[in-house]
Structure 1
Amino acid sequence: MRRAAIVGTGAIASAHAEALRAAGDRIELVAVVDVDEQRAREFAAEWGVPRVHSRLAALLDTEDLDVVHICTPPRAHVPLALECLAADVNVLVEKPPALSLSEVDTLIAAERGSAGRVATVFQHRFGPAAIRLRRMVSEGVLGRSFVAKCDTLWYRGDAYFDVPWRGSWDSEGGGPTMGHGIHQFDLLLSVLGPWQEVRAVAARQARDVATEDVSMALVTFADGTVASVINSVLSPRETSELRFDFERATVEVEHLYGYTDAHWTVTPAPGHDEVAALWREEQSAVVSGHGCQLTAFLDALDSGEMPPVTLADTRNTMEFIAALYASAFTGTVVKAGQIGPDSPFYATMEGIGAPWANAR
């Protein structure tokens, strides 16, 4: 049986503990780490975890581990992942995996010298419907891709941002583009493949934060697909929506924090009813979530493959975020590959500074 530990026992850690429990005898949660010892002990008691540590170093020194789940606030993700890689331990890190493209490249370099591997939690890639959609795209069943949209319209009130690390470039890395919409547009990118260029706007409309509270982007993909991406924490009717208009069908999903097949619809183009029939051949009630990704992660470890989502996959999504901010803050079109070490948006998503920074 494989052995896991969780670092950071805040709200998202429960999703990881539930996924580990659901994996049965494939893996065991043997320890947790948190700087708040009382919270860690309460979490351990709730989930039946035998040991608690106050520091990651102590965990790595005393436990024989296959994977560490990093569930801390974003600023700590990369330093903790680097510690795990130095100890040759695999990492499953919550989103956003890093605060900048530079930090992702630091992880890539560290991974090359380690027996451990880093995977990012982008769980919506692993729902059965998303897997089926990517397969149908790759097999050419849906024909050419033309148009797509990706909306993450959520609501987070002022009290949400009372938590000290939220709404800050230094500790969270960005606003809803980094911390909320990232799941939906990561799924969009996993379906449509390489993006080519981004035109974007970002604004701080209502929340007293340093980051944006809404962003919008127009994206062109390498295959010619054009897409819109909206990320908001100002939307009272919350929804997460993706729509793909292919040559032979429109494929849509509307959910909030997780989907089943029931949340998806397929509307065939005239004369292509077979597409809907093929979609209906496989039906699942499984909810997209951490459990689906953990299963794929364990399958990869068992087969000796790179666990998904790899740092190369992660970099593509993080580069898209950097390009969105760069386009929004400079008023220019930003192309894939444009943001390198000489760009101010490489070391921090804030780049040259948000247009509203001087108004605070």
Structure 2
Amino acid sequence: MRRFRVAIVGTGGIAAIHAENLAKLDGRADIVAAADPDEERLADFCERWSVPARYRDLPELLGNERVDLVHLCTPPGVHKEQALTCLAAGVNVLCEKPPALSLADMDEIAAAEHAGGARFATVFQHRFGSAAANLRRLLGTGALGRPLVAVCNTLWYRPADYFTAPWRGTWGHEGGGPTMGHGIHQFDLLLSVLGEWSELTAVAARQDRPTETEDLSCALVRFANGAVATVINSLLSPRETSYLRFDCERATVELEHLYGYNDGNWTVTPAPEEEGVLTDWAKGALGHASGHAAQFDAVFAALEAGEALPVTTAHARDTLELVAATYASAFSGQPVRRGEIASDSPHYRRMEGAGPPWPLPSSHAQRQEAGT
């Protein structure tokens, strides 16, 4: 198998997860360079992971290194510009979620990808566990019958001091609250299972946390195949869980985990007289947990085959469109159909559109007055 040359841009906590999971792939890739404006953080990362070359910024790295893939592990507010820089240089990109702050930014990335030939992918690692693939297989064959009802809950807890980082909880740097930055993993998996959504009705609120954005959203989503799902994204839930449930004609399939799953996190409950579903489930290729390593392996396989990288720009855009529709519906009080948020919509260029129906918290208002 080909061995790939990888660069890491941004060397904070998520970069360590990337490095750790790259190391699990038995020499599939080498981290040959890293970039970060914080010299101390960069030095610590490079020493810990034996990275031979270090740079203060992405252009300097690209000007001096030959790499097959850049991992963007930076805050969301800089993803688009960094992705465009890589794609213009003909370098493939694997970007942490969310890949962009708006549908407009995502469309710019897709246009640059199409024009330059290099490929772009987003880290949505929950798609890649073998049990999720098994569920998609059984729905595709009809073994579970039609999907009817689904639940997708991201009930997490983030205390107020989590938002002391200046980019967190802001529209301009994070693009949204738990809908954009936390629950997105769960409902991306939901979309990968149920396919195209058709209409959404939502509410969002800032219940407690000192943010510009929501700390809670709830949506009712109808899918093209007729299934209906509830989606809750919360940062207010002391008993944390990530929970998905798919009620189909012949069985209920459930997943409960927190930040990653293995086969043991899944439960299959057949409908009466449908015990054959358990046999069908057991026939699947199980045994692989979700996680960054699983997606990285799929990305390198695609690079070697010259194929589009998973998760593609089109798939990531579908997920971002659900985010934008959640905000558009919540702030307008109206349902939003898929494809309705076009370039003339205020939610196309900024997730919050004309703004949420709650005032800025005092700390954020003071920062805006100071121009920071």
TM-score by length of 1: 0.98
Could you say what secondary structure the match of 2:17 adopts?
helix
Aligned equivalent of 1:12: 14
Contact 1:200 1:327 in 2 (8 A): yes
Which amino acid in structure 2 is aligned with residue 300 of structure 1?
Answer: A
Aligned equivalent of 1:262: 264
Aligned equivalent of 2:202: 200
Could you tell me how far 1:72 is from its partner in structure 2? 0.4
* Structure 1 unpaired stretches of 5+: none
In structure 2, distance between residues paired with 1:258 and 1:87: 34
Contact 1:261 1:283 in 2 (8 A): no
Aligned equivalent of 1:275: 277
Aligned equivalent of 2:137: 135
In structure 1, distance between residues paired with 2:267 and 2:283: 14
Which amino acid in structure 2 is aligned with residue 305 of structure 1?
Answer: E
Aligned equivalent of 1:23: 25
Aligned equivalent of 2:176: 174
Identical-residue share of aligned pairs (%)? 58
Contact 1:241 1:253 in 2 (8 A): yes
Could you say what secondary structure the match of 2:48 adopts?
helix
Which amino acid in structure 1 is aligned with residue 13 of structure 2?
Answer: A
> 318, 321, 324: which is aligned to 2:323?
321
* Structure 2 unpaired stretches of 5+: 363-372
Spell out, residue by residue over 1:144-167, the C-alpha distance to the aligned partner (whole angstroms, 9 max, x if none). 010001000000001100111000
In structure 2, distance between residues paired with 1:183 and 1:305: 23
Spell out, residue by residue over 1:21-45, the C-alpha distance to the aligned partner (whole angstroms, 9 max, x if none). 1122221110110010111110010
RMSD across aligned positions (CA): 1.0
Which amino acid in structure 1 is aligned with residue 44 of structure 2?
Answer: E
Contact 1:325 1:349 in 2 (8 A): yes
Aligned equivalent of 2:82: 80
Map residues 219-230 of structure 1 onto 2, 5 A cutoff.
219-230=221-232
Contact 2:210 2:361 in 1 (8 A): no
Contact 1:262 1:285 in 2 (8 A): no
> 115, 124, 127: which is aligned to 1:125?
127
Contact 1:93 1:121 in 2 (8 A): yes
Spell out, residue by residue over 1:235-274, the C-alpha distance to the aligned partner (whole angstroms, 9 max, x if none). 0000000000011110000000000000000001111111
Could you tell me how far 1:287 is from its partner in structure 2? 2.6
Spell out, residue by residue over 1:109-149, the C-alpha distance to the aligned partner (whole angstroms, 9 max, x if none). 11111121000000000011111111111111111010001
Map residues 327-346 of structure 1 onto 2, 5 A cutoff.
327-346=329-348
In structure 2, distance between residues paired with 1:115 and 1:327: 36
Could you tell me how far 1:2 is from its partner in structure 2? 1.1
In structure 1, distance between residues paired with 2:26 and 2:89: 26
Could you say what secondary structure the match of 1:113 adopts?
helix
Could you tell me how far 1:286 is from its partner in structure 2? 3.2
Map residues 36-75 of structure 1 onto 2, 5 A cutoff.
36-75=38-77
> 148, 164, 169: which is aligned to 2:166?
164
Runs of 4+ in 1 over 2 A off after TM superposition: 280-287, 357-360
TM-score by length of 2: 0.95
In structure 1, distance between residues paired with 2:286 and 2:192: 20
My pick for the range that moved more, 275-284 or 232-241, is 275-284
Spell out, residue by residue over 1:17-74, the C-alpha distance to the aligned partner (whole angstroms, 9 max, x if none). 0121112222111011001011111001001111111110111011111000000010
Which amino acid in structure 1 is aligned with residue 340 of structure 2?
Answer: Q
In structure 2, distance between residues paired with 1:169 and 1:95: 15
Which amino acid in structure 2 is aligned with residue 79 of structure 1?
Answer: E
Residues 1:152 and 2:175 aligned together = no
Map residues 215-254 of structure 1 onto 2, 5 A cutoff.
215-254=217-256
Could you tell me how far 1:314 is from its partner in structure 2? 0.6
Count how many residue pairs are aligned between Structure 1 and Structure 2: 360
Which amino acid in structure 2 is aligned with residue 110 of structure 1?
Answer: A
The alpha-carbon distance between structure 1 residues 209 and 127, as it changes in their structure 2 partners (threshold 3 A), is same
In structure 2, distance between residues paired with 1:308 and 1:357: 39
Could you say what secondary structure the match of 2:278 adopts?
helix
Could you say what secondary structure the match of 2:13 adopts?
coil
Could you say what secondary structure the match of 2:351 adopts?
coil
In structure 2, distance between residues paired with 1:32 and 1:195: 38
In structure 1, distance between residues paired with 2:92 and 2:274: 45
Which amino acid in structure 2 is aligned with residue 126 of structure 1?
Answer: F
Contact 2:182 2:233 in 1 (8 A): yes
In structure 1, distance between residues paired with 2:172 and 2:191: 26
In structure 1, distance between residues paired with 2:286 and 2:147: 25
Could you tell me how far 1:357 is from its partner in structure 2? 2.5
Contact 1:184 1:240 in 2 (8 A): yes
